[in-house]
């Protein structure tokens, strides 16, 4: 099962956060938002398909977020968690930890914002578009 989210880069994208990465539906970003990769996300967790959400709640769920910007692509791999709610109507967060809140879409990720390919980060800082495809396998 898959969920597709499109978003836009922003001049304040730095992608320096060491434990999370985030996409937000907000149309703005301050320099303090060092985990945010893109703004104006076209979908938020509360809008995701119910079957997708349920699949992500399995302890056996393997979740991949494929980030595509121009010719660059990077896969982020992590797991699901029974406590995932997908209730946020504003942003989605990928976490390297096992912390869960209403924005969390993946835990135990192998990549945080600081680990994202710097060519992708540069393109996003220049305002390029991002496509994120979340896929869950149980």
Which domain CATH number covers 69?
Answer: 2.60.120.630
Alpha-carbon distances, residue 21 vs 12, 54, 103, 136 (angstroms): 14, 22, 11, 18
- Give me the DSSP letters along 30-58: -TT-TTEEEBS-S--GGGS-HHHHHHHTS
Give residue 82's domain range.
Answer: 2-137
Q: 81-116 pLDDT, tens per residue?
A: 999 999 999 999 999 999 999 999 999 999 999 999
Low-confidence residues in the chain, pLDDT < 50: none
- The predicted structure's pLDDT at residue 138: 83
> Taking the model in full, what pTM does it have?
0.96
- The predicted structure's pLDDT at residue 59: 87
Domains contained in the chain, number: 1
Of residues 66, 67, 99, the one with CA closest to residue 81: 99
- The predicted structure's pLDDT at residue 80: 97
- The predicted structure's pLDDT at residue 37: 98
């Amino acid at each position: 099962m898959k969920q597709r989210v499109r978003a836009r880069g922003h001049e304040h994208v730095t992608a320096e956060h060491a434990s999370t990465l985030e996409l937000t539906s907000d149309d703005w970003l301050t320099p303090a938002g060092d985990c945010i990769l893109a703004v104006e996300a076209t979908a938020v967790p509360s809008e995701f398909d119910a079957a997708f959400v349920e699949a992500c709640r399995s302890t056996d769920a393997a979740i991949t977020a494929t980030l595509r910007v121009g010719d660059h692509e990077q896969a982020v791999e992590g797991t699901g968690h029974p406590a995932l709610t997908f209730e946020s109507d504003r942003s989605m967060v990928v976490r390297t930890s096992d912390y869960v809140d209403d924005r969390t879409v993946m835990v135990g990720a192998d990549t945080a914002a600081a680990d994202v390919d710097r060519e992708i980060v540069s393109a996003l800082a220049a305002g390029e578009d991002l496509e994120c495809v979340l896929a869950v396998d149980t």
